[in-house]
């Protein structure tokens, strides 16, 4: 292996090591959040590239409870991607430079969907 290839390989290995350190840091925060708030329910937890933790809560009320604990704002919106409206409840905050996203999404009932569509047509 020549010097150029060795330098390139070291640079790539350094990049991989930096990503590993970042993911370990994200994982440490995720474990800390789960331990500190073990009484708050979750149905999923994912570490995402780009310093993100995504926590899936079973209900919108659970998202609100997480928001209160994290001292963060709740956002809610309804969207229809073409196969039925969904209600999204989210919390986004940054802790130690890591984005923490707690979310819940549910399909609207037929009555809720009809009311939502009716309300949209008036706007």
| Structure confidence by residue, pLDDT tens digits, 23-54 | 999 999 999 999 999 999 999 999 998 899 99
Instruction: Give CA separation, 81 vs 23, 45, 72, 113, 116, in Å.
Output: 32, 24, 27, 13, 14
Q: Is a pLDDT exceeding 80 seen at residue 75?
A: yes
Helix and strand element counts for the chain (H, E): 3, 5
Question: Residue 1 above 90 pLDDT?
Answer: no
């Amino acid at each position: 292996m020549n010097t150029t290839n060795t330098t390139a390989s070291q640079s790539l290995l350094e990049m991989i090591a930096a990503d590993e350190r970042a993911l370990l840091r994200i994982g440490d925060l995720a474990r800390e959040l789960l331990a500190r708030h073990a009484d708050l329910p979750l149905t999923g937890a994912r570490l995402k590239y780009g310093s993100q933790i995504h926590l899936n809560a079973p209900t919108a009320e659970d998202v609100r409870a997480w928001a209160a604990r994290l001292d963060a704002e709740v956002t809610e919106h309804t969207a229809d991607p073409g196969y039925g409206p969904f209600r999204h409840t989210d919390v986004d905050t940054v802790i130690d430079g890591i984005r923490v996203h707690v979310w819940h999404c549910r399909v609207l009932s037929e009555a809720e969907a009809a009311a939502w569509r009716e309300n949209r047509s008036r706007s």
